[in-house]
């Protein structure tokens, strides 16, 4: 029997959802005829649809809890099926090779427009993996990550404008500038955690954007910097289509390099120190781990990847201005990490591809595409609150040896 309390809650959810979508779904303004039409049937469909979805979600959750209550609780931690497949070399290596081959032949199969969209999605994959070091692994909530992204983009724009430096020369410099800025941010916030850290990093991101917007002599203010050259290849002149393809392959190489480095970092001594810092700072410090050094390395490495992507962003768009680096960008990158799975490399990749590609491929829904996109995200987080591919908490077990095994050893 379905609880009456849950029915009332679903009814309230449907009313609230209909109220929130009222300006979009019900009111239609014709600017040419200067008329306003009210589509009350849409309001009914939204309320009824959200009520049904809420009921189905509640039934699913209650059934899941009931099954879990009937089963015996196991002491060992069960590893998800996807993670189990990804840990098996016989599955992991062929799957990785197939994905890499598909990425390499992607521009030959699809149009330039699709290649350009995929380039943007892969850039957000690198941004998500960089923020995953700070948020997912080290447990430091950073809401100003877009500031490092802006530093990388403006590094290329300004160094090319004043010193005529090329893309390949500025690429490591932009990453190092962002890493240095990450260290400067890390020093004042070493004692902060949780919400306080989030507020400070949010303010830091806004400070960088406002400096770029108002310091006209340095960054040319809101007008931005235009005519930024695209990456060169031994002085060869490339057309618009070939330039997009070339940038795509640069981003693919950066994604592969980032996955390799981040995976090695997570399995290293430093990665285990980050995990300990995320779980309990006091216990981490009591075990002899240098908390200051560990936090600074996390901030600087995460900022380094954002700086690299910022340089590529400036080369891809050939124009930068402060409007491209608002808080919304930080929110999107953080959503990629949370949606994909905190600390999970494969999850962050999937989260970036979903969050960036889905709005583009939902354009067929016209004015309702962002509403459908938000609804899909809500459903995903209801049914997968730990992320699409959640990371498994490490556990160590000691097996008791028999007297025979002890004597043999």
309 with 186, same domain: the answer is: yes
User: Is residue 396 a part of any domain in this protein?
Assistant: no
160 with 98, same domain: the answer is: yes
Predicted pLDDT at 77 = 44
User: Is residue 103 a part of any domain in this protein?
Assistant: yes
Determine the Cα angle at 64 with ends 62 and 70, to 5°: 100
Cβ atoms 118, 250 nearer than 8 A: no
Cβ atoms 213, 154 nearer than 8 A: no
58 with 124, same domain: the answer is: no
50 with 146, same domain: the answer is: no
| Residue 401 Cα distances to 63, 76, 396, 404, angstroms | 41, 19, 16, 8
Number of domains present in the structure of the chain:
2
Place of tokens 């959503």: 335
306 with 356, same domain: the answer is: yes
User: Is residue 403 a part of any domain in this protein?
Assistant: no
65 with 193, same domain: the answer is: no
Predicted pLDDT at 88 = 66
CA-wise closest residue to 231 among 311, 114, 135: 311
Three-state SS for the chain is CCCHHHHHHHHHHHHHHHHHCHHHHCEEEECCCCEEEECHHHHHHHHHHHHHHHHHHHHHHHHHHHHHHHCCCCCCCCCCHHHHHHHCHHHHHHHHHHHHHHHHHHHHHCCHHHHHHHHHHHHHHHHHHHHHHHHHHCCCCCCCCHHHHHHHHHHHHHHHHHHCCCHHHHHHHHHHHHHHHHHHHHCCCCCCCHHHHHHHHHHHHHHHHHHHHHCHHHHCHHHCEECCCCCCCCCCCCCHHHHHHHHHHHHHHHHHHHHHHHHHHHCCHHHHHHHHHHHCHHHHHHCCCCHHHHHHHHHHHHHHHHHHHHHHHHHHHCEECHHHCCHHHHHHHHHHHHHHCCCCHHHHHHHHHHHHHHHHHCHHHHHHHHHHHHHHHHHHHHHCCCCCCCCCCCCCCCCCCCHHHHHHC
User: Is residue 17 a part of any domain in this protein?
Assistant: yes
- The model's pLDDT over 174-202, given as tens digits with 9 standing for 90+, comes to 999 999 998 888 888 777 777 788 888 88
* Residue 37 structural domain: 4-70
The ranges of the chain with pLDDT < 50 are 72-78
User: Is residue 165 a part of any domain in this protein?
Assistant: yes
366: left (phi over 0), alpha (psi -120 to 50) or beta: left
Pairing of strands 319-320, 27-30: unpaired
Predicted pLDDT at 378 = 75
Predicted pLDDT at 389 = 78
62 with 193, same domain: the answer is: no
| Torsion angle defined by CA atoms of residues 199, 204, 210 and 213, in that order, rounded to the nearest 10 degrees | -130
Predicted pLDDT at 240 = 78
User: Is residue 86 a part of any domain in this protein?
Assistant: no
The residues facing 226 across adjacent strands are 319
41 with 143, same domain: the answer is: no
220 with 326, same domain: the answer is: yes
User: Is residue 80 a part of any domain in this protein?
Assistant: no
User: Within 10 A of 353 (CB to CB), how many other CB atoms are there?
Assistant: 18
| Residue 195 Cα distances to 19, 79, 89, 235, 342, angstroms | 30, 31, 40, 49, 17
109 with 143, same domain: the answer is: yes
List all residues 6 or more positions away from 171 whose beta carbon is below 8 Å from its beta carbon.
156, 308, 311, 312
62 with 98, same domain: the answer is: no
Q: How much of the chain, in percent, has pLDDT values that exceed 90?
A: 25
Lookup: tokens for 198 = 């989030």
CA distance 207 to 199: 12
CATH, residue 288: 1.10.3470
CA-wise closest residue to 278 among 134, 139, 136: 139
CA distance 336 to 351: 5
29 with 105, same domain: the answer is: no
User: Within 10 A of 41 (CB to CB), how many other CB atoms are there?
Assistant: 10
């Amino acid at each position: 029997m379905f609880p009456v309390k849950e029915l009332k809650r679903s009814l309230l959810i449907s009313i609230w959802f209909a109220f929130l979508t009222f300006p979009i779904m019900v009111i239609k303004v014709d600017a040419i005829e200067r008329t306003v039409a009210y589509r009350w049937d849409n309001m009914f469909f939204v309320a009824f649809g959200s009520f049904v979805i809420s009921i189905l979600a509640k039934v699913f959750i209650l059934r899941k809890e009931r099954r879990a209550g009937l089963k015996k609780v196991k002491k060992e931690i069960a590893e998800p099926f996807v993670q189990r497949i990804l840990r098996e070399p016989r599955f992991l290596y062929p799957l990785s090779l197939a994905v890499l081959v598909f990425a390499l032949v992607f521009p030959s199969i699809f149009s330039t427009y699709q290649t350009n969209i995929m380039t943007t999605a892969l850039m957000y994959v690198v941004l998500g993996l960089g923020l995953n070091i700070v948020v997912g692994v080290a447990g430091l909530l950073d809401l100003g990550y877009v500031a490092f992204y802006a530093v990388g983009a403006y590094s290329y724009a300004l160094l090319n404008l004043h010193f005529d430096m090329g893309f390949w020369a500025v690429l490591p410099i932009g990453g190092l500038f962002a890493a240095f800025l990450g260290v400067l941010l890390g020093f004042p916030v070493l004692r902060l955690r949780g919400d306080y850290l989030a507020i400070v990093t949010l303010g830091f991101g806004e400070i960088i954007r406002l400096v770029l917007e108002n310091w006209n002599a340095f960054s040319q203010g809101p007008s931005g910097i235009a005519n930024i050259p695209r990456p060169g290849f031994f002085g060869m002149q490339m057309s618009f289509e070939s330039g997009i393809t070339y940038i795509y392959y640069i981003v693919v190489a950066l994604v592969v390099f980032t996955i390799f480095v981040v995976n090695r970092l997570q399995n290293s001594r430093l990665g285990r120190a980050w995990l300990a810092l995320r779980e309990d700072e006091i216990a981490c410090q009591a075990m002899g781990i240098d908390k200051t050094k560990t936090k600074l390395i996390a901030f600087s490495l995460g900022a380094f990847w954002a700086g690299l992507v910022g340089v590529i962003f400036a080369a891809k768009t050939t124009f930068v201005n402060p409007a491209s680096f608002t808080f919304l960008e930080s929110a999107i990158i953080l959503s990629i990490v949370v949606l994909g799975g905190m600390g999970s490399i494969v999850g962050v990749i999937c989260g970036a591809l979903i969050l960036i590609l889905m709005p583009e491929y939902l354009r067929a829904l016209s004015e309702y595409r962002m509403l459908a996109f938000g609804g899909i995200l809500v459903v995903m987080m209801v049914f997968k609150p730990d992320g699409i591919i959640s990371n498994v908490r490490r556990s160590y077990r000691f097996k008791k040896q028999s007297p025979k095994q002890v004597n043999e050893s």
